[in-house]
Amino acid sequence: MLIHPDRLFSAEPEARAIARCLYASVRDLPIISPHGHTDPRWYADDEAFPDPATLFVVPDHYIFRMLYSQGVRLEDLGIPERGNSQPERNARAIWRRFAEHYHLFRGTPTRLWLDHTFATLFGFTERLSARTADDYFDRISAALKTPEFRPRALFDRFRIEAIATTESPLDPLRHHETLRQSGWHGRVVTAYRPDPVVDPDFEGFRDNLARFGEITGCDTTTWSGYLEAHRRRRAFFRDYGATSTDHGHPTARTADLPRDDAEALFRKVSTRQVAPEEAELFRAQMLTEMAAMSIEDGMVMQIHPGSSRNHNLAIFSKFGRDMGADIPSRTDYVRALKPLLDRFGNERNLTIILFTLDETSYSRELAPLAGHYPALKLGPAWWFFDSPEGMRRFRELTTETAGFYNTVGFNDDTRAYLSIPARHDMARRVDCTYLANLVTTHRLDEDEAHEVAHDLAYRLAKEAYKL
Amino acid sequence: MLIHPDRLFSAEPEARAIARCLYASVRDLPIISPHGHTDPRWYADDEAFPDPATLFVVPDHYIFRMLYSQGVRLEDLGIPERGNSQPERNARAIWRRFAEHYHLFRGTPTRLWLDHTFATLFGFTERLSARTADDYFDRISAALKTPEFRPRALFDRFRIEAIATTESPLDPLRHHETLRQSGWHGRVVTAYRPDPVVDPDFEGFRDNLARFGEITGCDTTTWSGYLEAHRRRRAFFRDYGATSTDHGHPTARTADLPRDDAEALFRKVSTRQVAPEEAELFRAQMLTEMAAMSIEDGMVMQIHPGSSRNHNLAIFSKFGRDMGADIPSRTDYVRALKPLLDRFGNERNLTIILFTLDETSYSRELAPLAGHYPALKLGPAWWFFDSPEGMRRFRELTTETAGFYNTVGFNDDTRAYLSIPARHDMARRVDCTYLANLVTTHRLDEDEAHEVAHDLAYRLAKEAYKL
Amino acid sequence: MLIHPDRLFSAEPEARAIARCLYASVRDLPIISPHGHTDPRWYADDEAFPDPATLFVVPDHYIFRMLYSQGVRLEDLGIPERGNSQPERNARAIWRRFAEHYHLFRGTPTRLWLDHTFATLFGFTERLSARTADDYFDRISAALKTPEFRPRALFDRFRIEAIATTESPLDPLRHHETLRQSGWHGRVVTAYRPDPVVDPDFEGFRDNLARFGEITGCDTTTWSGYLEAHRRRRAFFRDYGATSTDHGHPTARTADLPRDDAEALFRKVSTRQVAPEEAELFRAQMLTEMAAMSIEDGMVMQIHPGSSRNHNLAIFSKFGRDMGADIPSRTDYVRALKPLLDRFGNERNLTIILFTLDETSYSRELAPLAGHYPALKLGPAWWFFDSPEGMRRFRELTTETAGFYNTVGFNDDTRAYLSIPARHDMARRVDCTYLANLVTTHRLDEDEAHEVAHDLAYRLAKEAYKL
């Protein structure tokens, strides 16, 4: 048996019994996936996924970073080099390589997600290994050819009530348009991720600004035109269901410059390469501008700071972005957010959802901030911490100060479509285990735990993201 | 039943049995409350508390910050605006508002303290909620009118052996004087908290210095006169039982300047607005000066650093200090304390008790420092971390390096008088649970655990604070 | 009974049963001790240890720092003052003093190591205390006089397969030479710790450089001669079995300067006192140079950063280095290691083992780095964190991101020879407890847990260190 019905619950019988009971009441709730990176083309075109390697290994940085750390070359996993969007791939060879190294994932969430997927979607009962690699490959390949494994069929099978993809302002939202016209019932919305036109260090930033002007019909060579372009493009995104924006800055720094200074800074960053400090200040200012627009248009704002992107120079040069070489770094929130909070922190009709890759900030900064400011909420444990221990620490370190109701439930943040049920299942189990622990230590009554379990699994995400 | 006899103990039967046994032996020990913020007027005048809202909600920043974070306005909770010390209050309306939002406190220590208080003092058996709000209000109101609920009666009922309040050097200690003359048996001592005359950034600092001179008869326009004023005022406080000083600086920075430099710095800060770095340096120097005086007069020194006070600009402008908007920030101890430790760290007749709001310093800095320097001890988990998980982390992160005997037991640090028994009870339960875990994993013998439980609940605080 | 067969296992029966079973399969595996500070003279001369105080108390900074923190003077523990290498010692008086304070070690790993040693080597069944002090002293003294307690006999009894000592490049490796010529079967290898000739802040650095030149026959007044001296000396160390180098820098900073800049910097640091920033830069550059040599000669590189050495000025002045006054401080890895990683991070034939005294870096920096870069591995929980809770945190905070196979098993890092079995036993028990928890929560299959337990106890250290 690949997955056990009691997985992730405490082994202590009393706590396990309560966790089982809590989990039973939330297991089958619909999935709200308010933040993620699945490809809207999947839902629009509803084509079959090509093969197990291309589906599971090639796009999953959790998988290939681990294999790479142990000496497997990215080329041998089918990762395309820059400029080669359709590399030759021997899917079976890649799959075997992955299967031979499956022991590397012992103790990791990736292992749990994969086993859950292999068991529940494909019916496997034996572990993936060098010995079972071909059987896995053949059976998954066969399944992927059937209508039941098309994206829309899976969407229903996964019981997804709403899912958000993430697009740049420069994206024409073509797939979302296809989707809309298709009349399909599934709710797939976009989200506004303006980093390419907000971050002066983004590749091609100044070209992006020009393109941004063309798309929106605004004069993005001026500060007011540039802001207007954002306003229009946010409205365009809202037409395609967007209820949120997302900001992936290196730090959480915000600024609230006088208008003239902001304008002068924009002139600089929009016309030439600037010093790191100026790029940082511009990003900082833009978080405050985005918050101002959110108050106008009601879009929820997500801040995902603290990743040192593309840390590995050689890998970045050869393979480009998102190659498993993004490394967290220390992130300050207390000073960084102050300019934004001084201006908008007390707004009750603004929701800013904070994420972190620096777990030290949970109890020291994030819970105290979210436990005070009406505008702030805490996003779930993110990325490397989207894991059983990571989620447990998140609850243990935030609940006592911020409670449950300044958090927003779970989001899967994934591009690995087939892992979505596994990820939500993990979050529901870990939260139920946490709640069961509160109940067995008499810190929470069981009827309350049931209510909270439901809130964490479903209601809070739906409400916070207005879905 | 609002509170369970086994609350906070591990659910594992063996560990629970040992925790019960340890707890039984310390449950009824007298309370030593060596550091807190109750109002000495209560003990001096022994008047009835006015009503449930004014007693529980209005003064408790743990409560109103949580309500505020979820959109309740401070005005609607009876929080007085600046300059309005006696606002109109509809106590019942405030109480109902609080009761309606009681679910926000699920999983927080506030909930546990309140339930403990409601159950043990007022006999409630059903949870506070919108439905039970009026019943709570009426029964508490009635009780508060009885002699059993006067401050002195509660003092005895709480089995308080000694409690310290905290006063500024500018405080005339009038209530303490009243108390002394009353002949009442309760031991209520003051503590010397000189921030208003030590921190150049404190509101009215230079006026405070002048007042400090008047009160002490010293020339506080000179460095030597200023230091002499501290010496005299510390002696005055000792007359009212003070055994400790307390220092609430933004950082733990210390300095040991040559006398001339210190004198010049004092001249600056005492005569004009100075740069942040100079204010910081003056506070730093004063910690070392206070340590020097502690060696002379035997007063125990507490350092409570690391809070970014009044983070919310709008709230501070409208309502003033201590409005639930103090946010912790990263705090360094290793470099910060070095000047003070170079001078006095090896003194065996000096006790400096260190606190932190940055839990990362427990294992990395504080335990290694306290496990080496004779002058240093660790205060208990503080403020946001005065909680079951916070206390557990404190023990898990400090004991292996500093042991139990470089810590000083528990202090409640509260202005919420009625919560004092609940807070000490929580600390005793969490410590017993921690000890029981050491016993069941055979890291400590049961006879030793009993001795340590007693030390943590009673003896260490009494000895460290010389009470 | 001093030690319980189930010590450190979870009290929950199911988890305990699995932990017992896992532990039973690794308990008797040979000890690989790839990094430590035992004295090679012991193995070379095989003389009896003098007395219990000199063996257990005087050299163990874990012990005397705790006693010192509680007011015991170092002089009264037989710690020699600077320049007095053979102080008068009343061994029995020191032992009694230690025994009287044995309760200070409650809850610390030192207590567990000592009890394990007392029980398994000397047969004690009653706790050390003032009452049993003399009995302990007499029985240990008697045992130390027997052949069974000579270093080589203990080596066999401890089932040590290989142990590394640590020497400076200036060390003539005389004891290692004696050992080689003795024909004794025990595998004792050296390790190359070049801090005295790499760190410009090291006492006598410039004299050390001159001596380094004499020993190696290289012109260490030039950059190329200096590098060549390292190459030769590393080869010399490899002749005595060395497979690793070790670097104890204040930070993890690395640099990759152009050759001319490096040369100019060397000229500075080798001829005069330099500014702290220049000393730091030179150490940073040398880490990269050492990595380059490791690629040439195959030596594994260990980086042990982040200790503020000799924090206590008075103690350092009177007693010198390593007096229990080294305090960890915050350590950054992400930026610090980038220059080195940009150059060598993708090398699959290089192994850099990272350690930390800043546990916040486990999940935020170290696990993400080691889970990506082929050249990086994580060393075990170090120093203050070589403890049950420290090891548990290490696994909980690194496994989900880096897995088990980017870690390198356990090393004892000790100069306390008799504690080596206790330390490895503790690591094996804690790892088995961690694995048992994964099994009972159905995150790992039991057959896999057995394989991992064996890897962590034996195979990974042997392979990572090439022993």
In a domain, A2, yes or no: no
In a domain, B230, yes or no: yes
Residues of chain A with pLDDT under 50: none
CATH number at residue B288: 3.20.20.140
In a domain, C2, yes or no: no
Tell me which chain C residues have a C-beta less than 8 angstroms from the C-beta of B11.
Answer: none
Q: Which of residues 21-80 of C touch A (CB under 8 A)?
A: none
The answer to whether B252 and B305 are in contact (CB under 8 A) is yes
In a domain, A3, yes or no: no
Tokens standing for C246? 């070790």
Q: Specify whether C18 is located in the same domain as C122.
A: no
Q: Specify whether C141 is located in the same domain as C158.
A: no
Give the separation between CA B96 and CA B84, rounded to whole angstroms: 23
Q: What is the 3 state secondary structure string of A370-415? A: HCCCCCEEECCCCHHHCCHHHHHHHHHHHHHHHCCCCECCCCCCCC
Q: What is the 3 state secondary structure string of chain C? A: CCCCCCCCCCCCHHHHHHHHHHHHHHCCCCEEECCCCCCHHHHHHCCCCCCHHHHHHCCCHHHHHHHHHCCCCHHHHCCCCCCCCCCCCCHHHHHHHHHHCHHHHCCCHHHHHHHHHHHHHHCCCCCCCCCCHHHHHHHHHHHHCCHHHCHHHHHHHCCEEEEECCECCCCCCHHHHHHHHHCCCCCEECCECCHHHHCCCCCCHHHHHHHHHHHHCCCCCCHHHHHHHHHHHHHHHHHCCCCEEEECCCCCCCCCCCHHHHHHHHHHHHHCCCCHHHHHHHHHHHHHHHHHHHHHHCCEEEECCCEECCCCHHHHHHHCCCCCCCEECCCCCCCCCHHHHHHHCCCCCCCEEECCCCCHHHHHHHHHHHCCCCCEEECCCCHHHCCHHHHHHHHHHHHHHHCCCCECCCCCCCCCHHHHHHHHHHHHHHHHHHHHHHHHCCCCCHHHHHHHHHHHHHHHHHHHCCC
Give the separation between CA B378 and CA B177, rounded to whole angstroms: 32
Q: Which domain holds residue A113?
A: 49-146
* 3 state SS of B322: coil
CATH number at residue A69: 1.10.2020.10
Give the separation between CA C128 and CA C139, rounded to whole angstroms: 12
pLDDT at A141: 98
Is residue B317 less than 8 Å (CB to CB) from chain A? no
Q: Specify whether B140 is located in the same domain as B279.
A: no
Minimal CA separation from A269 to chain B, in Å: 30
Q: Specify whether A177 is located in the same domain as A306.
A: yes
Full strand arrangement of the beta sheet holding C188-189: C31-33, C160-164, C188-189
* 3 state SS of A348: coil
Beta bridge partners of B32: B162
pLDDT at B392: 98
State phi, psi for A188 to the nearest 5 degrees.
Answer: -120, 115
Q: Specify whether B209 is located in the same domain as B280.
A: yes
Give the separation between CA C437 and CA C417, rounded to whole angstroms: 31
The answer to whether A116 and A82 are in contact (CB under 8 A) is no
The answer to whether A152 and A44 are in contact (CB under 8 A) is no
Q: Which of A371, A399, A442 sits opposite B7 (nearest CB)?
A: A442
Q: Specify whether A261 is located in the same domain as A174.
A: yes
Q: Which of residues 387-406 of C touch A (CB under 8 A)?
A: 396-397, 399-406
In a domain, A7, yes or no: no
SS3 content of chain B, % helix, strand, coil (to 5): 55, 5, 40
pLDDT at B89: 85
Tell me which chain A residues have a C-beta less than 8 angstroms from the C-beta of C440.
Answer: 11
pLDDT at B84: 83
Tell me which chain C residues have a C-beta less than 8 angstroms from the C-beta of B334.
Answer: 308, 311, 327-329
Q: Of C105, C122, C149, which residue is a domain's last?
A: C149
The answer to whether B312 and A343 are in contact (CB under 8 A) is no
Q: Specify whether A298 is located in the same domain as A383.
A: yes
Q: Specify whether C118 is located in the same domain as C258.
A: no
Minimal CA separation from B313 to chain C, in Å: 31
**Amino acid at position C81, single letter:** E
Q: Specify whether A323 is located in the same domain as A207.
A: yes
**Amino acid at position C342, single letter:** D
Give the separation between CA C30 and CA C457, rounded to whole angstroms: 9
The answer to whether A461 and A467 are in contact (CB under 8 A) is yes
pLDDT tens, position by position, A125-168: 999 999 999 999 999 999 999 999 999 999 999 999 999 999 99
Q: Which of A365, A373, A444 sits opposite B312 (nearest CB)?
A: A373
pLDDT at B153 > cutoff 90 = yes
The answer to whether B449 and B22 are in contact (CB under 8 A) is yes
Chains in touch with A (≥3 Cβ pairs < 8 A): B, C
Is residue B102 less than 8 Å (CB to CB) from chain A? no
pLDDT tens, position by position, B419-457: 999 999 999 999 999 999 999 999 999 999 999 999 999
Tell me which chain A residues have a C-beta less than 8 angstroms from the C-beta of C442.
Answer: 3-4, 6-8
The answer to whether C281 and C255 are in contact (CB under 8 A) is yes
Q: Where are the beta strands (DSSP E) in B25-117?
A: 31-33
Whether C3 sits inside 8 A of B442 (CB atoms) is yes
Instruction: Say how many residues make up chain A.
Output: 467
Q: Of A118, A146, A174, which residue is a domain's last?
A: A146
CB atoms inside a 10 Å sphere around CB B61: 18
Residues of chain C with pLDDT under 70: none
pLDDT tens, position by position, B295-348: 999 999 999 999 999 999 999 999 998 898 999 999 999 999 999 999 999 999
Residue for token digits 């801040």? A303
DSSP-derived secondary structure letter, B103 = G
pLDDT at B213: 98
pLDDT at B1: 82
State phi, psi for A307 to the nearest 5 degrees.
Answer: -100, 125
Structural domain count of chain A: 2
Q: Which of B69, B105, B127 to mutate to test the interface with A (most CBs of A within 10 A)?
A: B69
pLDDT at B85 > cutoff 80 = no
Q: Specify whether A137 is located in the same domain as A191.
A: no
Q: Specify whether A418 is located in the same domain as A399.
A: yes
Whether B311 sits inside 8 A of A334 (CB atoms) is yes
Give the separation between CA B333 and CA A340, rounded to whole angstroms: 29
**Which of C399, C400, C425, C396 has its CA nearest to residue C412?**
C425
In a domain, A4, yes or no: no
DSSP-derived secondary structure letter, B429 = H
Write b or e for each residue in A74-100: b if 16 or more Cβ atoms lie within 10 A of its Cβ, otherwise e: beebbbbeeeeeeeebebbebbbbbbb
Q: Which of C4, C107, C358 sits opposite B399 (nearest CB)?
A: C107
Give the separation between CA C96 and CA C76, rounded to whole angstroms: 11
State phi, psi for C340 to the nearest 5 degrees.
Answer: -65, -45
Tell me which chain A residues have a C-beta less than 8 angstroms from the C-beta of B109.
Answer: 400
Whether B348 sits inside 8 A of C324 (CB atoms) is no
Nearest-Å Rg of the Cα atoms of chain A is: 22
Strands C188-189 and C244-247: unpaired
With the C-alpha atoms ordered C244, C245, C251, C256, is the resulting torsion angle positive or negative?
negative
In a domain, B8, yes or no: no
Give the separation between CA A146 and CA A153, rounded to whole angstroms: 10
Q: Of C106, C133, C149, which residue is a domain's last?
A: C149
Q: Which of B344, B400, B456 to mutate to test the interface with C (most CBs of C within 10 A)?
A: B400
Tell me the helices (H) and strands (E) count for chain B, helix number first: 22, 9
pLDDT at B428: 98
Q: Which residues lie below 8 Å from residue A406, measured CB to CB, with a gap of 6+?
A: A367, A370, A371, A376, A377, A378, B69, B70
Q: Specify whether A302 is located in the same domain as A380.
A: yes
Is residue B441 less than 8 Å (CB to CB) from chain C? yes
Q: Which of A405, A452, A456, A463 to mutate to test the interface with B (most CBs of B within 10 A)?
A: A405
Q: Which of A128, A327, A363, A426 to mutate to test the interface with C (most CBs of C within 10 A)?
A: A327
Q: Which of B334, B396, B445 sits opposite C311 (nearest CB)?
A: B334
pLDDT at B233: 98
Give the separation between CA B263 and CA B255, rounded to whole angstroms: 13
Of the pLDDT bands very low, low, confident and very high (cuts 50, 70, 90), residue B220 is very high
CA atoms within 13 A on the CB side of C176: 21
In a domain, A8, yes or no: no
State phi, psi for C188 to the nearest 5 degrees.
Answer: -120, 115
